[in-house]
Amino acid sequence: MSKQTYRVCFCFQRRFKLAVKEAPPEIKALFDQYSENGIMTADHFQRFLTEVQKEENATKEEAQALIEQSLAELKHLNIFHRKVLDLEAFFKYLFGDINPPNSPSLGVHHDMNAPLSHYFIYTGHNSYLTGNQLSSDCSDVPIIQALHRGVRVIELDIWPNSNKDDVEVLHGGTLTTPVQLIKCLKSIKEHAFVASEYPVVITLEDHLTPDLQTKVAKMVTETFGEVLFSPGSECLKEFPSPASLKKRIIISTKPPQEYREAKDALQSESDPKSGKTPADEEAWGKEVPDAKVAIAVDDKHNELDEEDSNEEEDVDNGGSKSVAPEYKRLIAIHAGKPKGGLVECLKVDPNKVRRLSLSEQQLEKAIVTYGKEIVRFTQRNILRVYPKGIRVDSSNYNPMIGWSHGAQMVAFNMQGYGRSLWLMQGMFRANGRCGYVKKPDFLLKSGPHNEVFDPKCDLPVKQTLKVKVYMGEGWYYDFKHTHFDAYSPPDFYARVGIAGVAADSVMKKTKTLEDDWIPAWNEEFEFPLTVPELAVLRIEVHEYDMSEKDDFGGQTCLPVSELRRGIRAVPLHSQKGEKYKSVKLLMHFDFV
């Protein structure tokens, strides 16, 4: 008899029956090992924490506190006045919210006193769009949502309104409906530091005339006041640190033409009639006055072109070579592409720092020849990578290419979803979710002969991550009972793997368990890692469907650098990255 027929015959008998939640045999054996006569005392539990959970510094007092926390969720238990665990309470602890895969006590634990260029920064692209890149509404709502998730770089494309007397935010050359700039600025001010106290960078792609730039300068300075950070009109010699810029807003853009007239005069042979160099034909932005938030006017390409060119979009300033001085003063991080192609772009100036933007396609081409030069550039300077223009559905790309070359601002469409965005969310679960993750030392330092990290180099295995997937639960409570199958319990399988440098990236899969709301796979996987510092653990659950696409059952991504060893409860999230109320996996992590 086929499985399909079996289901039809027995559907009424077993339709929504939920199996009794029971500890797997290995968990029962551990309880027996660390208990006596069915009872686990604080002394037993402390030994379990140090030997199995690898919490070497766990005290008896901490063990007792965890016992009482676990028992508090099992109100029907009152064993010896809530001072010890039985098997049910022990299992409840392991599968509970108080036993996450990363330590909640870590908080912000990276050194936050290094220059901004030493950090990966949670970066948004076209942050004002509610959906696709061509016809969705522009709004401050996705900006607020991004800030609440810890995003630290917000991008705004600013254009004159139809009367040319005010400034709107929209994706130029598309059918996106605009939102007023002032509304976006006010929302940024209100929500910038809800999730993190570390600086917010506003990148502006500027399409304004000088008079409207003056108006923007007034808006920005009046909205942010003392929160805005501006170091003056000259390039910084070194970027300040996230710690020194707490609760401040920062601005970055290409220097206005006025700044460059002296330089242009020396280079006028490239275009004697205009007095401009090809670099001056690139899009450029302007500055913003004193305050403690960082704004960056973006020098990106016309993103609707199927092929990104090396020329950046020309800003419509009416042909004027003057720039509103109030606006110029707002620039904190200078951006732009020097004349001479990528070689000149990647030159490191010991006397100043700047920001360079490349599309994902340009980066992929550049790393073939200039991988090490990009790493060297990003040790002092900031590299921003943005999605190619043909991603009109607001999809994203593999962020690991940028991160493994030191790119700080890997800009993503936060309004979409998919595996790339899950990976981005996973990376920034590190360091207390503050939006800044310190880059590994090998991306920041040069060797004795001035050599830098080569992302293409074959490296030896540095560490092996062992992952065991015991079981999962919670779908019965978080999904409609007919969501996966109309007549029987779901057929779940788990996918576990690594996103990292090419040599480390892999996905593996458990067997599919039929007809079980609480699947117990009990399968172990090993992941040899050559660059564990950049590795992110990917976890997904799907429900096998014989005739259609498999159903999605949850996902999460976790930075390997912050995984806690031992048996942990791993909460899963929806496709949009929202944490489920009940769905989680019981897993074991270890490093060898």
Residues with a known catalytic role: 125, 171
Q: Are 494 and 469 in contact (CB under 8 A)?
A: yes
Residue 20 DSSP code: P
CA R_g for the chain: 27
Q: Is 3 exposed, middle or buried (0-12, 13-18, 19+ CB in 10 A)?
A: exposed
CA pseudo-torsion sign 45, 51, 55, 58 = positive
H or E stretch at 123: strand 123-124
Closest CA to 496 of 483, 508, 505: 508
Distance CA 291, CA 332 (A): 10
CA pseudo-torsion sign 244, 247, 248, 253 = positive
Residue 39 DSSP code: B
Question: Residues near 103 by Cβ (< 8 Å), separated by ≥ 6?
Answer: 562, 564
- The one-letter amino acid code at 138 reads C
- Which string of DSSP letters, residue by residue, matches 274-338? TT--GGGGS-------SBSEEEEE-----TTSSS--SSPPPP-STT-----HHHHTT-SEEB---
Question: Residues near 73 by Cβ (< 8 Å), separated by ≥ 6?
Answer: 92, 96
- Which string of DSSP letters, residue by residue, matches 524-590? EEEEEES-GGG-EEEEEEEE--SSSPPEEEEEEEEEGGGBPSEEEEEEEE-TTSPEEEEEEEEEEEE
3-state secondary structure of 249: strand
Question: Residues near 458 by Cβ (< 8 Å), separated by ≥ 6?
Answer: 503
Distance CA 150, CA 105 (A): 18
CA pseudo-torsion sign 535, 553, 468, 495 = negative
Distance CA 135, CA 133 (A): 6
Residue 344 DSSP code: H
Distance CA 284, CA 207 (A): 9
Q: Are 146 and 124 in contact (CB under 8 A)?
A: yes
Distance CA 520, CA 523 (A): 9
* Max CA separation in the chain (angstroms): 93
